Structure 1
Amino acid sequence: MSIYQPTFHNPSWPFTLRPATSADAQLIAAMHAQSWASAYRGILPDDFLDREMSAERETHWHTRFDELAAGAGEVFIAIQDDRPIGFVCLVAPDENGSVLVDNLHALPGAKGSGLGTAMLSIAAQWARDRGAASMHLFVLEPNVAAIGFYESRGWRLAGREDDTMGGIHIIALRYVMPIS
C-alpha cells in the first residue's frame, strides 16, 4: 500500500504519477519491453529484443508484483494525457540502508520531458520515507545515454558486476546516490 496519494502532480510536470497495482503488470511489462527495444538495440541481441523479451518481461512483472504486494517495494506509473509514458520500480532498503531503483523507464516519446528526473525525485522521497540513506541502480555498460543521465544528476559509479541478459554476457555498472 502506498503512503502517497492515489495520484500526485507537480504543477511543473506535464504528467502525473500514480502507484501501480498488480492489475498493471501487463502494462508495465509492455512499457518495459518497448523501452528496452529502443534503449538496448545494438547492445542486446535483436532476436531477444524482437522475439523473446515481451514474454520474458510479462513473466517477470507478474512475479515482481507478487513480491511487491508482500512489501518488497513499489512501482509508480507516469501518465500524460491519459496515456502511460513511463514507470519506476523501487525496492525496499537493503541491509546497508540503500533503496534499489530497480527500473526507471521513460518511453521513447517521453525522453527529455523531465519525466526521469521527476521519477528520481519521487524515488528519493520514497526512500527517505523508509529511512534509507542512499539509492542504487544498475546500468548496462554500453548504455552511454543512461550513464550520462544519471551522472548529470549526481549519481556516482560504485562498481561493476558481471551478468547475463538476453543470453549474452554483460557488464552492469552500479551507481549510487546518497539521499540523507
Structure 2
Amino acid sequence: MPIFDHTEHKPTLRLRKATRADTALIARMHSLSWAAAYRGILPDDFLDKEAPIERAAHWEKRMAELDAGEGIALIAELGAVPVGFVCLANPDASGSVLVDNLHALPGYRGTGAGSAMLDAAKAWARERGASRLHLSVLEDNRPAIGFYESRGWRFAVREDDRMGGVDLFSLVYTYELE
C-alpha cells in the first residue's frame, strides 16, 4: 500500500473582478499576449518596446472608465496565478456588449481560461439585458479566429485597422445570446 497519495491535483480556475490595483498586471498580461499572438504580424520593435508602455497608459485610462461604471474587467486565475483577463463594455444602443479585450497568457492557452472568460462575458451581458456580444480580431490572428469560431462566434464585417505603425485589417465577430 503506497504511503503517498500520487493523485494529481489540478489548480482551480476562477475569475475575479479586477480593481485599480490590478492595472499594471492587466497591462503586462496584455503586452505579453500581444507579443506572442502578434509576432510576425506587427513589428518586433513595437511589440517589445512600445506596446508595454502604450498598454500601461491605455489601462490607466481604461480602469478609470471601468471604475466610473462603463463596464467590467475580470482576471482569470489558475490557483493563485493570473493567466488572463477579459474586459467588457456596457451594452451599446443596439443591445450589444463589446468584448473589448480577451487575452490568455502564452503558456496558459488550452487551460480553459479563454472559454471561462467567454462564458462569464455571456452571463454578464445577459444580466444587463444584452442580445449579443461583439469583438474585433486581427485578420492575421488565425488561432484567435479559430478559437472564436469554434465557440459559435460568426464573422460580421472586415474593417481597416492600424496598429504599431502597420495598416492591416480587423474582423468583427458577433455572438447572439439566446
Report the RMSD for the aligned CA atoms in angstroms.
1.2
Corresponding residue number in structure 1 for 2:27: 29
TM-score computed with the length of structure 1 as normaliser: 0.91
Max radius of gyration: which structure? 2
Q: Percent identity?
A: 59
Corresponding residue number in structure 2 for 1:165: 163
Secondary structure of 2:129's counterpart equals coil
Corresponding residue number in structure 2 for 1:3: none
* Cα shift at 1:81: 2.5
Name which of 120, 124, 132 aligns with 1:126: 124
State the alpha-carbon separation in 1 of the partners of residues 60 and 13 from structure 2.
25
Off by >3 Å, runs of 4+ in structure 1: none
Secondary structure of 2:99's counterpart equals strand
Secondary structure of 2:107's counterpart equals helix
Secondary structure of 1:24's counterpart equals helix
Code of the aligned partner of 1:163? D
Code of the aligned partner of 2:20? S
Code of the aligned partner of 1:149? F
Q: Contact 1:13–1:114 (CA<8 Å) still a contact in 2? A: no
Matched, 1:147 2:145: yes
Structure 1: segments with no counterpart, 5+ residues:
1-11
* Cα shift at 1:80: 1.5
* Cα shift at 1:89: 0.3
* Cα shift at 1:13: 8.0
Name which of 39, 43, 67 aligns with 1:41: 39
How many residues are treated as equivalent by the alignment? 169
Corresponding residue number in structure 2 for 1:18: 16
TM-score computed with the length of structure 2 as normaliser: 0.92
* Cα shift at 1:163: 1.3
* Cα shift at 1:15: 1.1
Structure 2: segments with no counterpart, 5+ residues:
1-9
